[in-house]
Amino acid sequence: MKKKIGLAVVVLLVIIYLIGYFSYRSTPKIAVIPITGVISQYMDTVARIEKAQLDKSIKAVVIAVDSPGGAVGAAQEIYNAVEKLRKEKPVVVSMGNVAASGGYYISVPANVIYANPGTITGSIGVIIQHVSVAQVLKKLGIKVENIKSGQNKDILYPNNELTPEQKKILEETIKDVYNQFLEDIVKYRPVDMETLKKYADGRIFSGRQAKEIKLVDKLGNIQDAVKEAKKLAGLEGKPAVVIKIKKQDNLFRKVLENELSVSDFITFPQFFYLMSF
């Protein structure tokens, strides 16, 4: 008799769990995806965005950005992922302390961008650094030779000083990447190219200033952004669950799954959409 009661309790608990599980799965959700820190890696962020895109119970997404920017390639990967997500469901960005340069760039495709009045944003531009230790090596009597296939193969190597021709090459490349930044902004922001160029000289703005020149849409915090997302998804006044899609990637997991690469330990020369400090 006791065994039958115990089995009945277990079955009842399983039924309750299944009801709760399927009820939760079917409940409309607003997903919050945080993107914080310098943007260098993008695979995890793109995976989280794709997860929100494919989950049919997620009706809208809030991307909480708190980043000074980072590598151009990584920022463009995330920008493209947000762009694809927008085609499937509403996207609202909530800017925190800072969403500048690449942090602003990844925010651009959102349907609505919220910033706090004091959020630091803008810093639209491109930067690359070249550190030359040629004179120091010369004083120390150390000679380093680069065996290369072309005269510009070692253009950013620190044992060289840039020639005027090499500076021009870098400036032309920076200009092209900078123009890509501007083109991607005017694609989604209600600002024309000529007006944008007046402000896109690397300067930063407060959230309130950015709203005045239409780089952001509204002033408010993460709660306002979630409320906006519910509105865009047609869920105003209706039950909806707010969930957070957390970052899962970490160095320990990479070690376990043997996914470490040299890029986890070494930073190579690259172009940055990064706010200058």
What is the total residue count of the chain? 277
Q: How far is CA 182 from CA 1, 60, 123, 199, 214, in A?
A: 75, 27, 12, 11, 14
Mean pLDDT by 10 residues, the chain (277 residues): 58 52 67 96 95 96 97 96 98 98 98 98 90 83 85 83 90 95 97 96 97 98 97 91 79 46 47 63
Q: Residue 226's pLDDT is what? A: 96
Per-domain residue ranges of the chain = 30-126+192-274
Least Cα distance to 78 among 41, 51, 53 occurs for 41
Q: Residue 152's pLDDT is what? A: 85
pTM of the full structure: 0.81
Q: Residue 57 in contact with residue 87, Cβ under 8 Å?
A: no
Reply yes or no on domain 30-126+192-274 having CATH 3.30.1360.120.
no
Q: Of 59, 89, 94, 101, which residue is the catalytic one?
A: 101
Q: Chain centroid to CA 141: how far?
A: 45
Q: Is 230 a catalytic residue?
A: no
Least Cα distance to 65 among 30, 44, 39, 40 occurs for 39
Q: Residue 29 in contact with residue 58, Cβ under 8 Å?
A: yes
Sort 174 into a burial class: Cβ within 10 Å, 0-12 / 13-18 / 19+: middle
Q: Is 84 a catalytic residue?
A: no
Q: Of 56, 138, 153, 238, which residue is the catalytic one?
A: 153
Least Cα distance to 63 among 42, 78, 77 occurs for 78
CA distance 171 to 153: 16
CA distance 42 to 29: 24
Per-residue exposure over 135-164, b if at least 16 CB sit within 10 Å of its own CB, e if not: eeeeeeeeeeeeeeeeeeebbbbebbeeee
Q: Residue 230 in contact with residue 240, Cβ under 8 Å?
A: yes
Q: How far is CA 61 from CA 163, 181, 227, 265, 275, in A?
A: 48, 23, 11, 32, 26
Q: How far is CA 2 from CA 15, 16, 267, in A?
A: 20, 21, 65
Q: Residue 90's pLDDT is what? A: 98
Q: Residue 181 in contact with residue 273, Cβ under 8 Å?
A: yes
CA distance 218 to 178: 26
Q: Residue 158's pLDDT is what? A: 82
